[in-house]
Amino acid sequence: MIRKLCLTLAEPQQAPENWPFPIRVYTLGRFSLLIDGQSQIAGKRAQAKPLELLKLLIALGGRDISDARLEGALWPDAEGDAAHRALITNLQRLRKLLGLAGAIDYTDGRLSLNARHCWVDMWAFERTVAQAEQQERAQEIYKGAFLAEDNDQPWLLTARERLQRKFLRSLSDLGAQYSADSNWDKAIDLYQHGLDIDDTAEVFYQGLMQAYARQGQRAEMEKTYQQCRRVLSARFDTSPSPQTITLYQQLCEK
């Protein structure tokens, strides 16, 4: 009924998880575009540039992005007004693909995805990761690196690295919460997941060593510290930080 009557929310960021947004875009771990629940990625060459425009819009925040910035990123070598013409053409194609002209606002030379019509997993992740009580939900939303299968364009790498930093910080905070609650099994799983993403993050080695030590798994604690030493030596030709070394020594003395 919501779809049939084209109802929207005044505050879309407060929408329940099952709100039937007509357009859903998934960018974390994979790229997927759903319109009324149906996938629109058919591999057609005609869709490539409009979808790249959509990805760029999202990478730049999705709101109030200047057309000049989009043109410079997508058509850096275009001469005269060729880039602007290409932007308008692909904007029209993208609107047609989305099936809803109001999904993208273009006013005074600035483009925005309309949050009343579009749900984007990156937006949902950034909202939840900013709330201490929503860290578990943030982990569920983050399925992997931003547009992981796409080429490493500068604008893509910037967004990917920013989101990964937020995710790793969220992992660390949630792991600390599990540790404070003596939920060691969950803490161990979380810290190991963090190391799968960034095996140079000492905060995860530290948390993992503490969790193993509290469970009496001294061999695993020792193994974790030695892994930290090997990785940092191989990657940066350096040793663990004084904080990690001190923690290791304290755990060994207990």
CATH number, domain of 236, equals 1.25.40.10
With a cut of 90, say whether residue 51 has pLDDT above it: yes
Q: Does one domain contain both 122 and 242?
A: no
97-144 residue pLDDT tens:
998 888 999 999 999 999 988 999 999 999 999 888 888 999 899 998
Last residue of a domain, one of 107, 137, 164: 164
Bridge partners (DSSP) listed for residue 38: 35
* Per-residue pLDDT at 119: 93
Task: Place 31 in a pLDDT band, splitting at 50, 70 and 90.
Answer: very high
71 plus 196 within the same structural domain? no
User: Which of 91, 180, 88 lies closest to 132 in space, CA to CA?
Assistant: 180
pLDDT above 70 (res 15):
no
Average pLDDT taken over every residue of the chain: 89
Which amino acid is residue 195, in one-letter code? L
What is the three-class DSSP state of 118?
strand
CB 143 within 8 A of CB 29: yes
Nearest to 34 by CA among 97, 125, 78, 112: 97
State residue 21's pLDDT score.
Answer: 84
Supply the pLDDT for residue 161.
92
DSSP assignment letter at 16: -
